[in-house]
């Protein structure tokens, strides 16, 4: 009897260990390399701080005037599907690209979302950021566009005076009317929605005016706002492309410090007080900004079986 109980206990531990292994997830960072004409790349990490490249191009751009893939933004929905949006051209496009996948390898047909078709003078449609609203079970996509003459110019040229716009959709087949998302009174791009709790949202964004080009935050009670006035900057000048990940009780905000040609980060618990996380992180060379999400070990292994075994660091890829 005792031997049977021991055997049952051993089997239980084996099953439990197997379940834990199956449930393991990695952080994944969407990425691209300049000049952004090759396609989608990935980084991965066990801790969200130390990153390695996953070799390969996983989706080649087919859409837009310039057929590029910049600012790839990804979110995973509860059914396990990964949804991607991206900038398809530097200028001239009245929309952005969209595709989805279950395994990060096999993709749906690429779809052009004509987000600014109602504004034919639109100069560009930059950095679409996808957010999944778990309360309404729908997607919100926020991007920056410049519509000449629409807003007070300030110090910016008419073709660089951006504001943030958004649309909502449940399936990227039926899409809402495009609306103004945020007008902070200056040229603004690169917006990221962060949910801290119900009725508690943070908007991380870039002040794109010439003297500044730094990151700020605003606060709202819903993911579509209205948001407060922009804060004072929490980074130095000449940065862009914020990506936010929560690790423990702290939020890490990664960003591209493009003048210094480094990838940097700060951390915060309240989005009011920020401290440098430069010494805590490591990011491969050539990486350009995307978003951070999670994927299972099974998915990572399918991209490259050696990666989750700790083999083959790819910092130069």
pLDDT tens per residue across span 232-241: 999 999 999 9
What pLDDT shows up at residue 22? 55
In a domain, 305, yes or no: no
- Residue 273: exposure state from Cβ atoms within 10 A (0-12, 13-18, ≥19): exposed
Share of the chain above pLDDT 70, in %: 89
Give DSSP secondary structure letters for 87-112. Answer: E--SSS-SSEEEEEESSSSSBPPPEE
Mean pLDDT throughout 200-226?
Answer: 97
pLDDT tens per residue across span 86-98: 999 999 999 999 9
Length of the chain in terms of residues written: 317
What pLDDT shows up at residue 2? 52
- Tell which wins on pLDDT, 78 or 10: 78
Mean pLDDT throughout 21-30?
Answer: 85
CATH number at residue 266: 2.115.10.20
Which domain covers residue 257, as residue numbers?
A: 56-288
What pLDDT shows up at residue 170? 97
- Tell which wins on pLDDT, 36 or 8: 36
The C-alpha angle with vertex 85 and arms to 225 and 157, in degrees rounded to 5, equals 65
In a domain, 95, yes or no: yes
pLDDT tens per residue across span 38-53: 999 999 999 999 999 9
Where is 142: in which H helix or E strand? strand 138-145
Beta bridge partners of 167: 141
In a domain, 11, yes or no: no
pLDDT at 317 over 60: no
pLDDT tens per residue across span 59-95: 999 999 999 999 999 999 999 999 999 999 999 999 9
In a domain, 213, yes or no: yes
In a domain, 30, yes or no: no
In a domain, 306, yes or no: no
pLDDT at 305 over 90: no
Query: What total of structural domains would you count in the chain?
Result: 1
In a domain, 308, yes or no: no
What pLDDT shows up at residue 310? 58
């Amino acid at each position: 009897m005792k031997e049977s109980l021991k055997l049952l206990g051993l089997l239980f531990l084996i099953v439990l260990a197997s379940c834990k292994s199956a449930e393991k997830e990695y952080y994944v960072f969407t990425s691209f390399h300049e000049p952004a004409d090759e396609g989608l790349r990935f980084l991965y990490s066990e801790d969200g701080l130390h990153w390695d490249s996953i070799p390969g191009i996983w989706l080649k751009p087919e859409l837009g005037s310039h057929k590029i893939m910049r600012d790839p933004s990804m979110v995973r929905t509860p059914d396990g599907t990964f949804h991607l949006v991206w900038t398809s051209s530097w200028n001239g496009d009245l929309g952005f690209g969209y595709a989805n996948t279950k395994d990060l390898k096999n993709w749906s047909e690429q779809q052009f979302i004509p987000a600014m078709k109602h504004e034919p003078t639109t100069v560009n449609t930059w950095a679409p950021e996808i957010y999944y609203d778990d309360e309404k079970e729908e997607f919100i996509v926020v991007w920056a566009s410049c519509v000449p003459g629409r807003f007070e110019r300030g110090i910016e040229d008419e073709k660089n005076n951006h504001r943030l716009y958004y649309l909502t959709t449940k399936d990227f087949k039926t899409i809402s009317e495009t609306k103004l998302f945020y007008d902070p009174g200056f040229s603004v791009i690169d917006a990221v929605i962060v949910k801290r709790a119900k009725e508690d949202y943070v908007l991380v964004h870039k002040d794109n005016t010439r003297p500044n080009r730094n990151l700020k935050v605003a606060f709202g009670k819903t993911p579509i706002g209205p948001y407060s006035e922009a804060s004072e900057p929490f980074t130095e000048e000449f940065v862009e492309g914020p990506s936010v990940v929560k690790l423990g009780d702290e939020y890490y905000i990664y960003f591209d410090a493009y003048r210094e040609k480094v990838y940097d980060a700060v951390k915060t618990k309240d989005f009011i007080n920020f401290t440098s996380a430069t010494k805590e992180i490591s990011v491969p060379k050539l990486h350009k900004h995307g978003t951070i999400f999670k994927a299972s070990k099974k998915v990572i292994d399918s991209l490259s079986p050696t990666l989750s075994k700790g083999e083959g660091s790819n910092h130069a890829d």
